[in-house]
Structure formats: structure tokens, C-alpha cells
């Protein structure tokens, strides 16, 4: 077959540029035009916050490619400042407008790729048009924020997702005071709440004022600053506001062209990234694809999926018989706040609850490498699985080092259709600087299987019922320094077997320790001694100062 | 059923101690006796080199557990300095001898676990009994080495596997001169040769004198030092010698008891770690299990498998209906030398060649995270797959940071039965400090599929045939500074399309670049222009100073 001669790509950042590069690799002679409304193509949008804080010192490093470099490397016809106005599907052409001079023209296509991306949400709140209310999508937005930080001292960041957390960190690096406002009752709301505790305390430790369960209702301009009025009635004074409450897909063009959109306005695509018009493809933040874990529509705004989607589309356009489908998105994500990282892959517990799907979960606390080797730092790993099959549905990790590694292994395990049994026997790299003979991931597998096999009952909240005997098995000095809430009997673990007579077999017991490991050990003893016992999952982590990690018993 | 009452465990380090701990969790009332010939149980043998070099300052940190702590935590009867002399299988008892007083007794068992481990090889070379020829298995060996380093200045390390590389590094930390002798023509011979180049140059950069393709034939004692005579005739003067040429399983006891051993003397076990006697289990360095990638017997001397094997045995003894089989070993391994790490999982190319198995391979060079974010450091990733199915068989990674992460992801992908197509769409965590929109692992998947789909031919050696046109597409200054070997035409990539007339379509072309990426791009152009072209896989890496990484084109 003759390859399509003219490929027109609307949008030149992640999905669009990847599609163009792959297309050129596959067809040296196709005419490839890539238009971009903004001033830059193929820039490193995930790097923008780090330039604001000065971690990335060279602005040019963010402009990964330019129209000239793409011409030289890929023989692409790249037009920036060029907006697509209308798609004429019957005529297979797109009307474009050049923002510099207002000129319009029609560009013909054999195949069209839509990679319009998504815009930061700017709800119609009073005062939101004040120029001090900033969002971050491109280099020009970044420049505006940098200019504002040169003049202002007080920043209010609205929304504690990726951009909100990263911008808060970077604004603190820059020396500004930062107040971070989040409508939900936790930061980084993709994760289940307890998994963001460490990140939250790390941000607070760096003097970021976190205001949870509150949102902005209006902005009031004063002479020198902006007043942010919150739902709670609180008023925050700001020299600049970063609005990072989410994005909406830029899909007006697709909608006007009559392409099928999803319920939230995303372009619906098939497994080869084709829209409802087989000659029009779409990829990136603006599309709705399939979830890879539970068959359902999803939309992921991340660079990785965008790049790979663009590539799949190019494959399908230029080598249709060899192209492999896009397998869907998993929703892997990670964020860093100072020394702490938190990440997620697959489904969270709250998302499963909302979708009314059955699941089981355990959380284990461990270290990123052997505790006998210097520099061991704690991490928490939560895994979620399907009760019947044991198939993994999701994982969340937080801690100081090796967080990305555990997320990536869990993402791979989920994509491999692995189960909690498989986690037990992942053979991961172990040398003292890198891991442990039993990695946290193996331990999570053990804990999950123990639960499945009925070896332990877990509870995640300590009851106040006086009938329940709460047994804290930590050493007494630790218990005295960091008591567990409620009425607690302290029986240090090594003395438990000798002190069974202090407990009443007719009343339920909950065992508690620092990390959730000794309490499991204690629960095993008590269960075999005839007690009805549950182990407090995850432990009283508060007593572990992560800067001076305590040694865990490894037996 | 009634659980077995008496479990006797021979060997108290990784496999034995893990079995004991799990056994106690499963049966609070079983009698569990663990005997150990050495002075210590459950010590961190992988940490021993790091104490020699002072990275681990606290010797007690290596003694993870003691008989007393195991009594307190697990109610175990632990007997150190206690050697098993004979197994009476018919009588289900073991004769043990207490080394302190020479006393012997018979200990009865319902189930017996053999976890004897493996001993460092000490071939019968002349002079090998000199006390300055040291091996490293336990804390006492370590103490002897530490004492030797206090007196000596010149160390010769024989054998460049894990222990050899780690000891060389640590002895340099300690200020000794180090000569590292390896019989094979590369260090860390588990890996395929080019993947150890970076580690080798890093050791040399730290003044370790590496002698390859040579071995020791005899040791000659002088008054003040030891002379190590090599095959080559070279003689090395040493104050101390570390012999780290491998281990042999300590399986005389099992052999004498008539248990089935493998061809190399390992105890053959089934999927629940049972030996040829169903009441006798075995685990750890001394056993032969199944390979997880290609159905064949294997023996892996690593802490992770040993620990998990011990646990599987305990499960099968105490909850046989719920126990899951040990799925076999993969052979995941990692070693660090100063700032460089190198790791492997699954099968190497040379092992596949030796086993006469078909395979394909590609190597990609990339960075551990986005290049626009400060601190990007290069890494090389080699993947190996089954040609027909695309199923992954092995991977090797080397570089500065994130090496363990890629090994672990690849290990998980291999265990998940994943293919090169699956690698393309692993959705790994990306934020600038942690990764890239397309991780090196995705790129390896792309490169492998490109090869499978006939988009590119790879070659791994530059021919000297003058008929072949070798086209170096790097910028001229780089070519001048670090020329490729042989007669080379330099056409910088951006000018290639305009200079096709400089090449002869009737002669083959090989494209060359720094990392193997631009040469692939160039090969795609030339192939579509009618040339018979191959891309030089992996590039001329020598021109990249890893301390000041160059920016890779990302298009």
C-alpha cells in the first residue's frame, strides 16, 4: 500500500512531537506538518516547577527541541503560534490561523493527529482574572511566575496535586512563604490518606502552611496584594497565587468536528488511538483510553502515556500491519517534596470504594535497604489486590529513598497480571547498598498471603471499646515516649509468652507495635494460645524518627 | 492433622534462620532446635566486606540475631559451635557434636531442615595454607582480614566476582594497594563482557590493578610477605591475599545420608524444598532448584532465594495444604564498585550461547532520569529475549544511579512472562528527579521491537572491510576528540539528508554515533533511501565522560 503522504499534527508537545518523530522514522518522505498554538514545541513541561525554584538553572534546557532543530533532525515542518480553528472532515483539511499576523489558511491531511493537551482549570470565581492569579502550563506561564517571585514574598498555592506540591516546594526553595490550600482533607489526593502523612509532615517541616478541607471562593485585590477568601471564612494575603486545581482537555476543536467525546470532554479513542473518524487520531492529556487494571474508561495526564500514545498512532498510520495496540493506562505517578517522595500505581482504595469493587489491602513498613548498612531510611508500602484471585490492583509507596523503585516494580507486577503470591517470590537485586534479602515488596506479599491464609486479622483503627484489650508490645521507653492512644497494656514482645496470664482470654485483643511487624508476631502467639486477636496494621509509626531510623527486628 | 512436634534445623544463617522464624510463627508449640557449626547465627554475611572497609562501623550491627535474642523472640533452642556429624534417616535422628567440649549426642526430629550453605573454594595449590591467604564467609574470617589489613599494605584479591569486587573496593577504602586477579577476561563474569567495562574502568580509576585472563598457581612465603605466582609467570607481592574464586556446597552430610545430589554436589530439592527424603528439607546456597526462565536445574548463592526457600519449607512442614511452591530462582545480582553499579537478572548472552538456546539482544544507552534535570547520569541496559515469542530471558544494567531499579523492573518483567512489546508500555514513575517520560526500559523495548519488525539491522563490531562505508554521524568536534576505529566518513546527523551523494548506494553502510540512537535515526533515513545499512549498537560510548553527561537528543 502507499503510505499516507500528508500527516498533520495539531499540538507539538509530548504526544504530538513523539508522533512526529516516530512518523519520520517510519516514512522518510511523508509530508509532516506539526502546528502548535504556543511559542514552544517539545518542551519539558514536567520540569517547569524546578526552574521556578532554581534547581534547573538553564531555561534552554527546558526547550528540548525547537522548530529549527526538528527541521534539522526530523525534516519536520513545525509552525508555532499557529492555532487550528476548524476541521473539515469531509474535505480532510484543517483551517489554521497564524497568531502573529492573523492570517488563515487551510492545510490538507491524509491523516490528522490531535494532541491538544489540557488547560489549567480557572473557575469563574470573583477576582480570578487578577494577573497575580497564575497557572502553570508552558514556559511563558513559568516566566510570569518567576517574575512574580522576584517581586512578591507571599505565595498561596491552591490545590495540592503534583503541581501544587512541586510548586510549594520550589517556592520555598526560592525563599517565599507558602500557604498550600487543598479542598480535600489530604494533600496529593490521588493517594489514600495515610500514605500522604509523611509528605505532609515534610512540607510542614519546611514551613509550608497546609490548609486542608478548604477552598478558595474569591480573590479580592488590594493595592499591594491579593486577598484569597476561603470557604471557611479564612482570608489569606498573597503577593502571588498559583492555581493548580486540575486541568480540562482542550477539545473544543474535536467537539466542533463532531468527534465522539467522553463524559468529561475527552476525545474517545480506540486501541490504535483512532477517534470516531478513522483518519483522525488523538493522543495525550486530552484523550480517554482504557484502564489497564479494571476494564473501564480512564484519562491520565502524564508525559509517559502521552509519548507512547503518539508513537502508537504513528505506527498505526505508517505500518498498520505491524502496529501493536496501546494497552491502556495504569496511572503511575510520583511526587517529591523535599526529602520525601510519594507515589502510586494502579487503583487506590478510595477509587475502588467509589467504584464499588471488592479489594483487600495491607501496608508494610520497612527500609529501602539492609538496616545494618548505613543510611537505611524507612518507607511504607501499601498494596491492594482482588480478594478472590489475589491479582494486584494497586500500590502506594512513601518514604525517603527507593520510592520510585518500588512503584516501578509494583507497576510492572500489576501489568504482568501478578498476584500477592508472586510478590513473595520476586527475586530483586540485593547487595547492602541497594536492597535487602527480603525487600519491602516481598514482605508485602508475605503479609498479604498471611492475611489471605487466615494467619492474621488486621485492623486499621484502634477501638475505644473498653472490652478490647490493646496490648502494646514495644519496649517500655518507646511506649512512654510515644504512647498509643487509649488504654493500653504494655507487654514488651520478648516477655509476652511469660505474661499471657495478664490477659483475659474471654476478651478480644489488639496487638500494637511500632511498624506492624512485632504486633503480627505477637498476634500469632496469642492466636495459637486461644485469644481472639487482631494486629494493628502499620503500627504507631509516629515513634520512629525517620532521620535516625531504629533497627527493626528481622527474625 | 497433628503438626510435627520436633523440627531440627542444621545451619543458622539465612535459610535456616528464616525457616525457624516462619516455623515458630506457624506453630507456637513445636520444638525447634537450630544448630550451627559456626559461632554466630543469622548474621549479615552480605555486609562483611563493608565492615572491613569501615563503611559499617559497628560490628554488632552484623550480628543481626544471637541465640539469646532468638530465644526471646522466637522461643528457639539455638546451639552454636554445634556440628551435625551424621543423619540416621531410619531412626529420624541426627548425631551432633559440640565443638567446645567434644561431646556428642543424638537429636531426634520429625522434620529435618538442611541449610549448610557453601564454603569458599581453596584449591590444593602449593602454599595455599599460608595464614595470609584469607577467605570470607563469616565474622571470624572478617576479623582475620581486618587484623591483616592493620599490618599489611599490599593486598592481592584472587577472583573478581561479588566478593572480589566488593573486597577490592573496601580494601582501597582502607588505603591498601590492591591487585585484582581474574581468570576470565573480564571482571564480574556473570555479566557479558562489555557490560562490565564501566565497572572495570571505575575500579582502575581508584588505582585497583586489574589483571585479567590470569590465575594463581602457587603461593610462596617470604619472610615479610607472600609471593603469588600467576599462570602468566607474573609474580605479585602481597601482605594479604583474599581468595574469592567461588564456593562449594557443604553437602558431605547430605551425601553420607544418601540424599540425592546434583552433578555439582548440590542437594536436589523439589518444589517444596523436600530432598529425596520427604522428611528432610534443604534450602539455601547448598541446594539445586529449578531455573525460572528456562526449565533447567540451577543453583543460586544469594540471600534472597535462601531466605524465601527456608520460608517455603516451613510453610510446607506446618501448613502443607496452604503452602505454595518455591517457583525457582532467577539469578538476580548486583555489585557496586565505588560510584558504579552493575547488575544482572535472568540469563546472560554467554550462558545462552553455552546452552545453545536461540536469543536476540539489544543494548540501549540512556540516563537514569530526565536529562534536563540536574544530575542525569548515563546507564546502559542490555535486554535479551526469545526470538519467536519475544519473551524476555535476561537483562543487564550498568551505570551510576538507578541501576538496582532497572534490574528490579526487568526481574519483575521476566517473572511476569513479559515480552519486548510489554516493555514498550511499562508505565513507570516519572517526575524529573526520578525518571523520564520514556524510561531506558521503554527505549529498550522500542529498540527490540524495531529490530524484530525489520526497521533496523544492528551490528556490534565495526568491520575492517574497506567495501563497508562507516558513517559517523556525531558532530565533528566529538569525532575529532574521540574517533571511531577504522576509516570513517563523518557526516553529522543534521546534514545527512543533504549529503546522501557522498555515499555509494552499491556498498554497505554502517552508521555510528555516541550512544546508538542517532545511528539508528541515520540508518532509518539511509534504509529508506535505498542503502543497505546497519546501525552500530551501543555507540562509541568512550566519548561520553560520565562525570559530565552530554545531552541526548530526545526526538
pLDDT single digits (tens) B67-122: 999 999 999 999 999 999 999 999 999 999 999 999 999 999 999 999 999 999 99
Q: How do B378-385 and B360-367 pair as beta strands?
A: antiparallel
Contact A412 B409 (CB under 8 A): yes
Residue B463: half-sphere exposure toward Cβ, Cα within 13 Å = 14
Instruction: Measure Cα distances from A296 to A262, A288, A289, A328, B61 in Å.
Output: 12, 10, 9, 10, 50
- Which residues, in sequence order, are CB contacts of B263 under 8 Å at separation 6+? none
Q: What is d(CA B228, CA B134) in angstroms, rounded to the nearest whole number? A: 13
Residue ranges of B 18-37 with Cβ closer than 8 A to chain A:
21, 25-29
Tell me if chain B has a CB within 8 Å of the CB of A375: no
Nine-digit cell at A334? Answer: 510520583
Contact A412 B434 (CB under 8 A): no
Segments in chain B below pLDDT 50 = 1, 543-555
**pLDDT tens column, B226-277:** 999 999 999 999 999 999 999 999 999 999 999 999 999 999 999 999 999 9
Burial of A222 (0-12, 13-18, 19+ CB in 10 A): exposed
- For cell 570470607, the residue is B136
Choose the mutation target among B399, B428, B455, B493 for the interface with A, i.e. most A CBs under 10 Å: B428
**Nearest residue of chain A to residue B522 (CA atoms):** A25
Tell me if chain A has a CB within 8 Å of the CB of B70: yes
Q: Return the DSSP state at A274.
A: B
Instruction: Please name the member of A72, A332, A418 whose beta carbon is closest to the beta carbon of B428.
Output: A332
Nine-digit cell at B203? Answer: 575500579
Q: What is d(CA A521, CA A167) in angstroms, rounded to the nearest whole number? A: 43
Contact A370 B44 (CB under 8 A): yes
Q: What is d(CA B497, CA B522) in angstroms, rounded to the nearest whole number? A: 9
| Residue A508 confidence (pLDDT) | 97
Instruction: Please name the member of B64, B69, B430 whose beta carbon is closest to the beta carbon of A46.
Output: B430
- For cell 496535586, the residue is A161
Residues from chain A that touch B305, judged by Cβ atoms under 8 A, are: 427
Residues from chain B that touch A554, judged by Cβ atoms under 8 A, are: 42, 64-65
Q: What is d(CA B286, CA B268) in angstroms, rounded to the nearest whole number? A: 9
Cβ atoms < 10 Å from Cβ of A46: 24
Nine-digit cell at A207? Answer: 514551613
- For cell 609467570, the residue is B233
Strand arrangement, sheet containing A392-399: A333-337, A340-346, A392-399, A378-385, A360-367
Contact A345 B427 (CB under 8 A): yes
* Residues A249, A265 contacting (CB under 8 angstroms): yes
Segments in chain A below pLDDT 50 = 1, 543-555
Cβ atoms < 10 Å from Cβ of B401: 17
Choose the mutation target among A34, A70, A425 for the interface with B, i.e. most B CBs under 10 Å: A425
Task: Kindly provide the ipTM of the predicted complex, given to two decimals.
Answer: 0.96
- Which residues, in sequence order, are CB contacts of A322 under 8 Å at separation 6+? A315, B453
* Residues A281, A10 contacting (CB under 8 angstroms): no
Contact A424 B308 (CB under 8 A): yes
Nine-digit cell at A287? Answer: 484523550
Q: What is d(CA B58, CA A376) in angstroms, rounded to the nearest whole number? A: 14
Residues from chain A that touch B3, judged by Cβ atoms under 8 A, are: none
Angle made by CA atoms A71, A74, A77, in degrees to the nearest 5: 45
- For cell 506492624, the residue is A516
Contact B46 A345 (CB under 8 A): no
Residue ranges of B 276-295 with Cβ closer than 8 A to chain A:
292
Contact A334 B429 (CB under 8 A): yes
Nine-digit cell at B107? Answer: 537429636
DSSP H helices in A333-436 = 349-354, 403-415, 420-424
Q: Strand, helix or coil at B72?
A: helix
Distance from CA of A515 to the nearest CA of B (A): 16
Instruction: Please name the member of B47, B304, B324 whose beta carbon is closest to the beta carbon of A373.
Output: B47
Instruction: Say how many Å lie between the first and final Cα of chain B, rounded.
Output: 65
**Nearest residue of chain B to residue A522 (CA atoms):** B25
DSSP H or E segment with residue A290: strand A287-290
Q: What is d(CA A454, CA B414) in angstroms, rounded to the nearest whole number? A: 30
- Which residues, in sequence order, are CB contacts of A462 under 8 Å at separation 6+? A470, A484, A485, A486, A510, A512, A536
| Residue B553 confidence (pLDDT) | 35
Residues from chain B that touch A521, judged by Cβ atoms under 8 A, are: 25, 73
Cβ atoms < 10 Å from Cβ of B497: 15
Q: What is d(CA A494, CA B172) in angstroms, rounded to the nearest whole number? A: 42
* Residues B324, B315 contacting (CB under 8 angstroms): yes
Q: What is d(CA B260, CA B315) in angstroms, rounded to the nearest whole number? A: 22
Query: What is the set of domains in chain A, with CATH numbers?
Result: 6-118+248-318 (3.50.50.60), 133-245 (3.50.50.60), 339-452 (3.50.50.60), 458-543 (3.40.250.10)
Instruction: Please name the member of B65, B408, B421 whose beta carbon is closest to the beta carbon of A428.
Output: B408
Distance from CA of B209 to the nearest CA of A (A): 24
Instruction: Please name the member of B372, B374, B425 whose beta carbon is closest to the beta carbon of A64.
Output: B372
Contact B46 A554 (CB under 8 A): no
Q: Which residues pair with B374 in a beta bridge?
A: none
Cβ atoms < 10 Å from Cβ of B68: 10
Residues from chain A that touch B57, judged by Cβ atoms under 8 A, are: 374
Amino acid at each position: 500500500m502507499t503510505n499516507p503522504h500528508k500527516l498533520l499534527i495539531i499540538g507539538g508537545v509530548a504526544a504530538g512531537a513523539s508522533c512526529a518523530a516516530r512518523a519520520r522514522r517510519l516514512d522518510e518522505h511523508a509530508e509532516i506538518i506539526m502546528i502548535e498554538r504556543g511559542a514552544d514545541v517539545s518542551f519539558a513541561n514536567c520540569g517547569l516547577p524546578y526552574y521556578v525554584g532554581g534547581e534547573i538553572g538553564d531555561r534552554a534546557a527546558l526547550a528540548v527541541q525547537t522548530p529549527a532543530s526538528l527541521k534539522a533532525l526530523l525534516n519536520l515542518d513545525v509552525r508555532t503560534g499557529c492555532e487550528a480553528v476548524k476541521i473539515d472532515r469531509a474535505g480532510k483539511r484543517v483551517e489554521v490561523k497564524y497568531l502573529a499576523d492573523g492570517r488563515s489558511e487551510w492545510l490538507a491531511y491524509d491523516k490528522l493527529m490531535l494532541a491538544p493537551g489540557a488547560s489549567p482549570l480557572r473557575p469563574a470565581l470573583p477576582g480570578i482574572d487578577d494577573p497575580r492569579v497564575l497557572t502553570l502550563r508552558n514556559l511563558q506561564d513559568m516566566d510570569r511566575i518567576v517574575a512574580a517571585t522576584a517581586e512578591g514574598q507571599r505565595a498561596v498555592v491552591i490545590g495540592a496535586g503534583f503541581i501544587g506540591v512541586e510548586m510549594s516546594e520550589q517556592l520555598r526553595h526560592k525563599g517565599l512563604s507558602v500557604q498550600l490550600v487543598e479542598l480535600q482533607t489530604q494533600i496529593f489526593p490521588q493517594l489514600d490518606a495515610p500514605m500522604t502523612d509523611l509528605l505532609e509532615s515534610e512540607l510542614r517541616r519546611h514551613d509550608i502552611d497546609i490548609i486542608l478541607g478548604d477552598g478558595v471562593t474569591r480573590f479580592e485585590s488590594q493595592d499591594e496584594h491579593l486577598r484569597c477568601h476561603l470557604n471557611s471564612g479564612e482570608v489569606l494575603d498573597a503577593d502571588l497565587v498559583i492555581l493548580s486545581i486540575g486541568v480540562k482537555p482542550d477539545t473544543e476543536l474535536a467537539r466542533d468536528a463532531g468527534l465522539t467525546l467522553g463524559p468529561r470532554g475527552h476525545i474517545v479513542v480506540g486501541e490504535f488511538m483512532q477517534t470516531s473518524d478513522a483518519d483522525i487520531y488523538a493522543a495525550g492529556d486530552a484523550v480517554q483510553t482504557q484502564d489497564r487494571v479494571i476494564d473501564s474508561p480512564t484519562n491520565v495526564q502524564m508525559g509517559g502515556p502521552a509519548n507512547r500514545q503518539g508513537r502508537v498512532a504513528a505506527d498505526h498510520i505508517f505500518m498498520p500491519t505491524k502496529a501493536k495496540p496501546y494497552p491502556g493506562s495504569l496511572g503511575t505517578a510520583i511526587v517529591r517534596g523535599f526529602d520525601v517522595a510519594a507515589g502510586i500505581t494502579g487503583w487506590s482504595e478510595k477509587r475502588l470504594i467509589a467504584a464499588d469493587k471488592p479489594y483487600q489491602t495491607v501496608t508494610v513498613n520497612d527500609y529501602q535497604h539492609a538496616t545494618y548498612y548505613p543510611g537505611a531510611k524507612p518507607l511504607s508500602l501499601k498494596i491492594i489486590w482482588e480478594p478472590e484471585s489475589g491479582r494486584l490492583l494497586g500500590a502506594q509507596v512513601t518514604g525517603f529513598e527507593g520510592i520510585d523503585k518500588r512503584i516501578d516494580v509494583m507497576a510492572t507486577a500489576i501489568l504482568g497480571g501478578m498476584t500477592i503470591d508472586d510478590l513473595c517470590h520476586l527475586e530483586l537485586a540485593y547487595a547492602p547498598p541497594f536492597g535487602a534479602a527480603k525487600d519491602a515488596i516481598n514482605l508485602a506479599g508475605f503479609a498479604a498471603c498471611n492475611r489471605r491464609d487466615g494467619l492474621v486479622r488486621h485492623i486499621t483503627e484502634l477501638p475505644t471499646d473498653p472490652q478490647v484489650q490493646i496490648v502494646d508490645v514495644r519496649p517500655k521507653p518507646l511506649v512512654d515516649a510515644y504512647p498509643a492512644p487509649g488504654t493500653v497494656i504494655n507487654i514488651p514482645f520478648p516477655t509476652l509468652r511469660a505474661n499471657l496470664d495478664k490477659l483475659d482470654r474471654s476478651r478480644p485483643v489488639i496487638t500494637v507495635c511500632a511498624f506492624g511487624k512485632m504486633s503480627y508476631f505477637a498476634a500469632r502467639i496469642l492466636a495459637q494460645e486461644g485469644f481472639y486477636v487482631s494486629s494493628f496494621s502499620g503500627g504507631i509509626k509516629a515513634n520512629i524518627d525517620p532521620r535516625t531510623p531504629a533497627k527493626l527486628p528481622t527474625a
